[in-house]
Structure 1
């Protein structure tokens, strides 16, 4: 058996600029971190080597790879010519919550299957392969930030270049600044999940308008401002930048926010939050707020949403178990 774990990501600023129809014209960038919530994938040979068994939110037992309903499983297993295995996927967080779950799964699956085939693949290449699967082969209307955030791990500034390449650099700061930033971030579950594809498809279409493109350019500028501030050990403006980015993001497509989300956001801002955003494409999932420690209890009592405690993580996708037979 082989087991991998791959982290979910939290995007602070610049989301949306990782879509091809934007970065090919302007270039894009995001600032994001991976967190200590994971997707775990295990694989081992199946008892009946002529069948493949998949266990996720559903169970699938198939004779042929083309019979698989789950599009990512089907595409990756077909590409890698793997059959006669049992694969199980479990996660700390449900899908559709704005933490990049689909891409986290794709990166983790690619890492698992390459290890099963006895191949080491770099984190950069795993991210690139995941983008090929989700965007080029399956045609999902998504960007590239989730794949790189999950594969690389850590707090990073990620650039999406006009030629389609991706570059990245870690955000370096003093340890006390890093710890304080973590302590000042709170995450709450809105109680609803959503499919990102509908919102992202509209957002992709809207980017062709000059006003929406200007919004994304401003959001990229905010990501750069956030990078400079963090590298100077200044987190005093972090909440303000989050809020400015959220106000710009809401204008990119209908369905990003709704009355319940707006109400929760307003309550948080009136009870100590200095800024925040809805994570992911929008419509549901998790709200993130920047709130100094002395105001956090007040905010938690006022917002009446389930809190998700988390910390940053730095490892990215990793293999956590390889059975003895693979060393023979």
Structure 2
């Protein structure tokens, strides 16, 4: 028997950064995101004997796991090891050996929540294999705890919940340990129009999101008024983005992306840079109504809202950069697991 899982990556529309502690602990956070047809996938194949193998097929990495052994200092496959160790400590070590294989459709540092989504997919495939009694909130919270608390990786809360629940969601983070996922019933015609108008562009420059997030966290801890005011503004925009999507005011979605990007850049200096600004300015001059850098910023994917048929003019205008456009569709399903054989 082979056990499999997949979890979708997400596009953040508004409120990103307000799900990061300590801002969310003090003021409460709110974000709006939607999952797309790019996935983190995981498979578990039981093996004879007691050998345990981890492999990340997209990165060409593989290692044999030694229980209680020292973790590699370079952090390779740290997420695989951390999930397994968490599951084994909580539910008991699985009997026999196995091979855990993963693949992610976007690189780390892409801004689509790839690392958190990978953790969700790995938890999901273990839950399928071991018949663990885990609901969506359980899985998302476990993924957050493994990444942020056990591994100490800087980041927010939205990615784990987006990957687990799927679809368009308005998420609230009222305090340190609570999350509320509000699914949005966006009309299909509005979703189709959004897919038609929203370009997903990979800058070909990945970035280390941790440094950007840590700068944002320092700004909150030292009560930097400009940074905190910007976070308040992007949180307010998440509410307005929800209203725009539900009422079909699609051009307002594009305007809010622009307003959100301008506010987000005040949260931390490293969110943007001259390269990103040149790409963004080029897209606006070609007809994009708005856009933003996805995730923490600094590189990775960008999104551009291009009404009518302006998308084609924008695509041509960005050919001079070394990036690429990624085809996608919005998907309503979150984490899914199954077995075969």
TM > 0.5 fold call:
yes
SS in 2 for 1:111: helix
Name the structure 2 match of 1:317: 335
The Cα of 1:163 is off from its aligned counterpart by 5.0
Residue 55 (1) aligns with residue 70 (2): no
| Contact 2:154/2:214 (<8 A) preserved | yes
Q: Deviations over 1:124-161 (max 9, x none)?
A: 21111111111121121211011011111001100011
| Contact 1:60/1:68 (<8 A) preserved | no
The Cα of 1:302 is off from its aligned counterpart by 0.4
The Cα of 1:65 is off from its aligned counterpart by 4.9
Counterparts of 1:1-328 in structure 2 under 5 Å? 1-49=2-50, 51-56=51-56, 57=59, 58-69=61-72, 70-81=77-88, 82=93, 84-162=97-175, 164-208=177-221, 209-304=224-319, 305-319=323-337, 321-324=338-341
Aligned equivalents of 1:265 and 1:54: distance in 2?
A: 39
Aligned equivalents of 1:114 and 1:98: distance in 2?
A: 27
SS in 2 for 1:17: coil
Q: CA RMSD in A?
A: 1.4
The Cα of 1:239 is off from its aligned counterpart by 0.9
| Contact 2:191/2:330 (<8 A) preserved | no
Aligned equivalents of 1:289 and 1:207: distance in 2?
A: 29
Q: Normalising by the residue count of structure 2, what TM-score does the alignment of the two structures yield? A: 0.91
Gaps of 5+ in 2: none
The Cα of 1:64 is off from its aligned counterpart by 2.2
Aligned positions, number: 322
Aligned equivalents of 1:62 and 1:151: distance in 2?
A: 26
Aligned equivalents of 1:251 and 1:307: distance in 2?
A: 27
Structure 1 residue runs of 4 or more that deviate by more than 6 Å after TM superposition: none
Aligned equivalents of 1:201 and 1:164: distance in 2?
A: 20
Q: Deviations over 1:298-325 (max 9, x none)?
A: 1100011311011101111101x3134x
Aligned equivalents of 2:70 and 2:340: distance in 1?
A: 29
The Cα of 1:119 is off from its aligned counterpart by 1.9
Aligned equivalents of 1:250 and 1:192: distance in 2?
A: 18
Q: Normalising by the residue count of structure 1, what TM-score does the alignment of the two structures yield? A: 0.94
The Cα of 1:87 is off from its aligned counterpart by 0.5
Gaps of 5+ in 1: none
The Cα of 1:164 is off from its aligned counterpart by 2.6
Aligned equivalents of 2:262 and 2:117: distance in 1?
A: 27
For the structure 1 residues 113 and 68, does the alpha-carbon distance in structure 2 shift closer, same or farther, using more than 3 Å as the test? farther
The Cα of 1:68 is off from its aligned counterpart by 4.6
The Cα of 1:91 is off from its aligned counterpart by 1.7
| Contact 1:65/1:78 (<8 A) preserved | no
Aligned equivalents of 1:127 and 1:179: distance in 2?
A: 28
Aligned equivalents of 2:299 and 2:140: distance in 1?
A: 25
| Contact 1:158/1:168 (<8 A) preserved | yes
Aligned equivalents of 1:102 and 1:195: distance in 2?
A: 12
Aligned equivalents of 2:33 and 2:3: distance in 1?
A: 28
The Cα of 1:67 is off from its aligned counterpart by 3.9
Q: Deviations over 1:18-46 (max 9, x none)?
A: 01211111111000001000011000212
| Contact 2:271/2:297 (<8 A) preserved | yes
| Contact 2:14/2:32 (<8 A) preserved | yes
Q: Deviations over 1:103-134 (max 9, x none)?
A: 00111111111111122421221111111111
